[in-house]
Amino acid sequence: MTLESLSPCKDNHYLTSNRIDHFGFKNDKTFNQRYLIADQHWRKEGGSILFYTGNEGDIIWFCNNTGFMWDVAEELKAMLVFAEHRYYGQSLPFGADSFRDSRHLNFLTSEQALADFAELIKHLKRTIPGAENQPVIALGGSYGGMLAAWFRMKYPHIVVGALAASAPIWQFEDIVPCGVFMKIVTTDFKRSGPNCSESIQSSWDAINRLTRNGTGMDWLSEALHLCTPLKNAQDVQHLKDWISETWVNLAMVDYPYESNFLQPLPAWPIKVVCQYLKNPNLSDKKLLQNIFQALNVYYNYSGQARCLNMSETSTSSLGSLGWSYQACTEIVMPFCTNGIDDMFEPQPWDLKTFSDECFKQWGVKPRPSWITSMYGGKNISSHTNIIFSNGDLDPWSGGGVTKNITNTLVAIIIPEGAHHLDLRANSAFDPMTVLLARSLEVKYMKQWIRDFYASPRKKH
Amino acid sequence: MTLESLSPCKDNHYLTSNRIDHFGFKNDKTFNQRYLIADQHWRKEGGSILFYTGNEGDIIWFCNNTGFMWDVAEELKAMLVFAEHRYYGQSLPFGADSFRDSRHLNFLTSEQALADFAELIKHLKRTIPGAENQPVIALGGSYGGMLAAWFRMKYPHIVVGALAASAPIWQFEDIVPCGVFMKIVTTDFKRSGPNCSESIQSSWDAINRLTRNGTGMDWLSEALHLCTPLKNAQDVQHLKDWISETWVNLAMVDYPYESNFLQPLPAWPIKVVCQYLKNPNLSDKKLLQNIFQALNVYYNYSGQARCLNMSETSTSSLGSLGWSYQACTEIVMPFCTNGIDDMFEPQPWDLKTFSDECFKQWGVKPRPSWITSMYGGKNISSHTNIIFSNGDLDPWSGGGVTKNITNTLVAIIIPEGAHHLDLRANSAFDPMTVLLARSLEVKYMKQWIRDFYASPRKKH
């Protein structure tokens, strides 16, 4: 049975009304929040509710990429709920105007999203007979994983625990070094083929040398099969950013089997990419022809692409507009490279420039220390029942919780695991490490469910 | 040494900048939040910070009525901080316009106030050398006690524990019966003199009978020495509400010594009041002449008042305007009477009417279930280090936590204690019960401080 046949991610969706502003009373308008429900394995007796805390994209896409929940539903007698995050997918508070200006975007925050989830769960418990006295567990990956962890921290009366997969809750301020992310990306390429990271490292200078003049730009545009040719220095910077992001994305989705998360890709895609990048000491042109072959793995695995489009790096199911706003307000993650610990051109973290660009684009200024004020940064030891899982291939693990904090705030490391591999459906190609991680996760979740049923329960 | 000489509540105040809206990014204006600091007993080595989570009034007034913090400062080597709640005292986000309309009032919520406190503590830790690595304990009484408890629940990374005195965190929705509050008021009068509650109970009908016509209204206005004579049925209803509130206030401030919290009053003021209310079977006029004597205790202990003013029931240091807005939005507390379990005229809780009045006055509608969604109602057992103290004379104890929930969420009952008696300065007239309560509170606080210093500390 394939996931497709199991999951009703495609059409089983419902709408409810949720407040646009939970934290003020002037605006009492509501919006339609989408969520998906699957109850084929749910039991009213002793069952549970697994609640996916939707992140920056269409919820159907997350639903289709979170096979783990479907795989454990029967064992946990669980109802599955996938909640779409406001301002993404079909959950647009102001419809087509939602991204128009800072006034319309004002309600796009993690705090509002968590309040949406709280109210949605209350609504489900009120309206689904049998659901009221069941434990709810939050699950999420990436930003959704941060939301799952934060949801348990802020609403422990609503969720008994959280599985926060690949959740970089410490990628803020100076909690971790800003270079750790790109260092992990680099390590992934280093480990996937001889001279692979060196070849990429060499490519930046090669690009710089080649694009000193128009002829070089033309040549490179053709060699890389760019849909839009390079015209000036700004385009060249854009090219380098786009290529960097491609390597980052490959590090995130370096799964052990053919997959289609950000793009359709072969198994262990970095290994495939690195087959083209064995020699860093070629001429600039030869090196960049190899870079093209490498990029082609990511952008043209299907073989259908006629040119490479620099305006896209991943699925359009991710809401890049909303995420850009969130990164410019609360979710301020400092990144940097130094070209020594990583294979990229050196680029320090520059809050001032970042802030200016945010103000230009959205009319807002980032508040880099707010997330730490709100959610505690490293001081989270008084909370309980959160699993932080991290694949060691995943660059986001650099800002993640990778060591146990207490007995009930635990870290699970998944060697050979890319970005929330554990949340994906079981596969014959899964490494043993992720099978172990998943069984440990289920063990904890069962414990939380048992604890819930063993304790006296209160109505409110 | 008197409290006056010890405390610099009067003029030692500072201002800082805090965001008007912590939960959105469109409005990045800031306001001046007032807070008071006393550090004469503070020690940089092994010290602590006691943080009063200011409630609905001028912070200087709370400071002057929270002698407990001054009394324990030396023992805990504590810096004392009193933070003023936004929209009260001098902490007005929009100055004189702060209460103009629902747009200006939009940022008056408990969530914003807690975020103010979090940012203020971060500011103090950043700017006061030696403060950074010290444990902070939240303290508050009444709504300030709710804030102290909620602050520990939502920001456990910022405060190691909370003393929530007389904090009715369960006076919401149907968590406790709506009649419990007035039942306790009634019990206080019943216990304070023979036939006292019966006399009050009889007084309502007496008023109703006497005010059927203009002559009766005139007589009553004179008998009660009202500053503004009664003119119609609406005034009569106002009179009864005002008298009821007086009995409620007396129940709150039934302290064992002369005090000046809501009004200057003798020791055990209800006993004094009840001396005038020994016979419920008098003629209407005689009964109401006695009611006047009773009211006179509350409104004219100084003997200076020339008439009784129905537009005031307590100190003007409380911000009744702001509180009226908060009660119309988040802080929706259902109250009711039935005339059987209590000494008042029956009045059911009517959300619809309440909501309509709120909309008329403020242009907002109450959200009665939000506080429970946000702060958990009865499901708070996963939190730690909160003391809930309640005097058994205090009507607010009806919605308070009066039984231990866990080892670290503990209730302290103070027999013979009125509204947060434990937070008041030591007095020779204190009953033994409150001395025991305070020593237990200090024991817990010392334990939190020890635990803090014994644990590895994180920067963020």
**A101 and A65 in one domain?**
yes
**B358 and B389 in one domain?**
no
The answer to whether B142 is a known catalytic residue is yes
- Residue B383: DSSP 8-state: -
Write the residue in A102, A372, A381 that is nearest to B460 by C-beta: A372
**pLDDT-based confidence at residue B1 (cuts at 50, 70, 90):** very low
Of B136, B74, B73, the closest CA to residue B449 belongs to B136
Q: Range of B40's domain?
A: 12-170+378-454
**B145 and B85 in one domain?**
yes
Q: Which of the listed residues A342, A366, A390 is the one where a domain comes to its end? A: A366
Does residue A13 surpass a pLDDT of 90? no
In-domain check, residue B372: no
Can you tell me the distance from the alpha carbon of A43 to that of B283, in angstroms, rounded to the nearest whole number? Answer: 67
> How much of chain B exceeds pLDDT 90, in percent?
91
Work out the minimum CA distance from A139 to partner chain B, whole angstroms.
19
Work out the minimum CA distance from A375 to partner chain B, whole angstroms.
7
Tokens of B27: 């409005």
Q: Say what the pLDDT of residue B325 is.
A: 97
Can you tell me the distance from the alpha carbon of A244 to that of B21, in angstroms, rounded to the nearest whole number? Answer: 37
| Largest distance between two CA atoms of chain B | 76
Write the residue in B26, B119, B372 that is nearest to A102 by C-beta: B26
Which chain B residues are within 8 Å of A329, Cβ to Cβ?
25
In-domain check, residue A210: yes
Burial A99-128 (b: 16+ CB within 10 A, else e): beebebbbbbbbbbbbbbbbbbbeebbeeb
- The A48-53 sheet, strands edge to edge: A13-19, A30-38, A78-83, A48-53, A136-141, A161-165, A386-391, A409-414
**pLDDT-based confidence at residue B314 (cuts at 50, 70, 90):** confident
In this prediction, does ipTM exceed 0.90? yes
Does residue B65 surpass a pLDDT of 90? yes
Does residue A131 surpass a pLDDT of 90? yes
Interface of A with B in 164-193 (CB under 8 A): 173, 175
Does residue B340 surpass a pLDDT of 70? yes
**A164 and A185 in one domain?**
no
Q: Say what the pLDDT of residue B9 is.
A: 84
Which secondary-structure segment (H or E) carries A250? helix A233-252
The answer to whether B394 is a known catalytic residue is yes
The mean pLDDT of B89-102, rounded to a whole number, is 95
Q: Say what the pLDDT of residue B11 is.
A: 59
Can you tell me the distance from the alpha carbon of A319 to that of A87, in angstroms, rounded to the nearest whole number? Answer: 8
The mean pLDDT of A418-440, rounded to a whole number, is 97
Does residue A62 surpass a pLDDT of 90? yes
Tell me, yes or no, if B119 comes closer than 8 A to chain A by beta carbon: yes
Which secondary-structure segment (H or E) carries A120? helix A110-127
Can you tell me the distance from the alpha carbon of B211 to that of A35, in angstroms, rounded to the nearest whole number? Answer: 59
Q: Say what the pLDDT of residue A460 is.
A: 75
Residue B86: left if φ>0, alpha if ψ -120 to 50, beta else—which one? beta
Interface of B with A in 67-106 (CB under 8 A): 102-103, 105-106
Q: Say what the pLDDT of residue B459 is.
A: 72
Tell me, yes or no, if B112 comes closer than 8 A to chain A by beta carbon: yes
Q: Is the dihedral of CA A361, A362, A363, A369 positive or negative?
A: negative
Residues B12-15: contacts with CB under 8 Å, at least 24 apart: B12/B36, B12/B37, B12/B38, B13/B59, B13/B60, B13/B90
Q: Say what the pLDDT of residue B6 is.
A: 54
Does residue B360 surpass a pLDDT of 90? yes
Average pLDDT, chain A: 95
The mean pLDDT of B87-96, rounded to a whole number, is 95
Does residue A441 surpass a pLDDT of 70? yes
Q: Say what the pLDDT of residue B277 is.
A: 98
For A266-323, what is each residue's pLDDT tens digit? Answer: 999 999 999 999 999 999 999 999 999 999 999 999 888 899 999 877 777 787 899 9
Any bridge partners for residue A410, and if so which? A387
Q: Say what the pLDDT of residue B93 is.
A: 96
For A347-391, what is each residue's pLDDT tens digit? Answer: 999 999 999 999 999 999 999 999 999 999 999 999 999 999 999
CATH number at residue B351: 1.20.120.980
Task: Verify whether the Cβ–Cβ distance A102 to B25 is below 8 Å.
Answer: yes
Q: Which of the listed residues A366, A397, A412 is the one where a domain comes to its end? A: A366
**pLDDT-based confidence at residue B318 (cuts at 50, 70, 90):** confident
Task: Verify whether the Cβ–Cβ distance B118 to A374 is below 8 Å.
Answer: yes
Does residue A2 surpass a pLDDT of 50? no
**A403 and A287 in one domain?**
no
**A436 and A312 in one domain?**
no
**Active-site residues of A: which are they?**
142, 394, 419
For B410-460, what is each residue's pLDDT tens digit? Answer: 999 999 999 999 999 999 999 999 999 999 999 999 999 999 999 987 777
Can you tell me the distance from the alpha carbon of A176 to that of A117, in angstroms, rounded to the nearest whole number? Answer: 29
In-domain check, residue B7: no
Which chain A residues are within 8 Å of B122, Cβ to Cβ?
369, 373
Q: Say what the pLDDT of residue A6 is.
A: 54
Q: Say what the pLDDT of residue B175 is.
A: 98
Q: Which of the listed residues B366, B392, B425 is the one where a domain comes to its end? A: B366
* Chain B nearest-CA residue for A326: B25
Interface of A with B in 367-386 (CB under 8 A): 367, 369-370, 372-385
Of B58, B77, B75, the closest CA to residue B9 belongs to B58
- Residue A414 · residue A388 · CB < 8 Å: no
Q: Say what the pLDDT of residue A11 is.
A: 59
**B356 and B449 in one domain?**
no
> How much of chain B exceeds pLDDT 70, in percent?
97
**pLDDT-based confidence at residue B343 (cuts at 50, 70, 90):** very high
**B164 and B251 in one domain?**
no
Does residue B302 surpass a pLDDT of 50? yes
**B162 and B182 in one domain?**
no
**B198 and B146 in one domain?**
no
Does residue B334 surpass a pLDDT of 70? yes
CATH number at residue A163: 3.40.50.1820
Interface of A with B in 120-139 (CB under 8 A): 122
Any bridge partners for residue A19, and if so which? A30
Does residue A69 surpass a pLDDT of 50? yes
Write the residue in A23, A27, A372 that is nearest to B23 by C-beta: A23
Work out the minimum CA distance from B369 to partner chain A, whole angstroms.
10
Task: Verify whether the Cβ–Cβ distance A107 to B24 is below 8 Å.
Answer: yes
Q: Say what the pLDDT of residue B2 is.
A: 45
Does residue A5 surpass a pLDDT of 60? no
Task: Verify whether the Cβ–Cβ distance A24 to B373 is below 8 Å.
Answer: no
B306-315, B380-389, B412-421: range with lowest mean pLDDT: B306-315
* Chain A nearest-CA residue for B114: A374
Task: Verify whether the Cβ–Cβ distance A460 to B377 is below 8 Å.
Answer: yes
Q: Say what the pLDDT of residue B4 is.
A: 46
For A145-201, what is each residue's pLDDT tens digit? Answer: 999 999 999 999 999 999 999 999 999 999 999 999 999 999 999 999 999 999 999
> How much of chain A exceeds pLDDT 90, in percent?
91
The mean pLDDT of A233-240, rounded to a whole number, is 96
Task: Verify whether the Cβ–Cβ distance A25 to B365 is below 8 Å.
Answer: yes
**B183 and B121 in one domain?**
no
Average pLDDT, chain B: 95
In-domain check, residue B134: yes
Domains of chain A: total: 2
**A293 and A184 in one domain?**
yes
In-domain check, residue B215: yes
Does residue B346 surpass a pLDDT of 60? yes
Residue A278, burial from CB neighbour count under 10 angstroms (0-12, 13-18, 19+): middle
In-domain check, residue B395: yes
